Amino acid sequence: MGLFDRLFGRSSSKLHVAAPVAGQCVPLSEVPDPTFSGEILGPGAAIRPTDGRVCAPVSGTVTTLFPTGHAVALTGENGAEVLVHIGLDTVTLQGSAFTIHAREGQTVREGDLLIEADLEAIRTAGLDPVTPVILCNPDRFQSVTALTGKPVSPGDPILALK
């Protein structure tokens, strides 16, 4: 961050977390899983996906990529530690509904394709494809505001960080 950025409060990193997938952005309280709805892992938002292309919600590094493809964690250049969990109980599919396009340690830009999820296969298995997006280190920020109640596309802000 340069001198003028520090003086005028501008940051070189985007202070938001973007939608990783297209769909309807809803509050975590609507996710039928107490781990997410109770914000046990942290605050966030969820998306009821209409497309299975899961993209990076921040520019940064892929820190954890589950071999089953059902979840990915990233550390953003903006300091955000973000978990994207594709569906509920989808780990039980043992990777059959997911195609992984990223790897742990990879540097990504916001919007880069990480995983493709077969939403129909998830639904056919009787599972909910709702996708929680969790900020795992909220204490690093003064505030976290979920921007819910609207349709989103990958790249649209869903969490405002301050």
What is the helix (H) or strand (E) element at residue 155, kind and residue range?
none
Question: Which amino acids are annotated catalytic?
Answer: 85
Place of tokens 């977390």: 17
C-alpha 36: how far from chain center: 13
Express the helix, strand and coil content of the chain in percent, nearest 5 each. 15, 35, 45
Smallest Cα–Cα separation from 102: which of 91, 113, 111?
113
DSSP line for 32-57 = S-HHHHTTSS--EEEEEESS-EEE-S
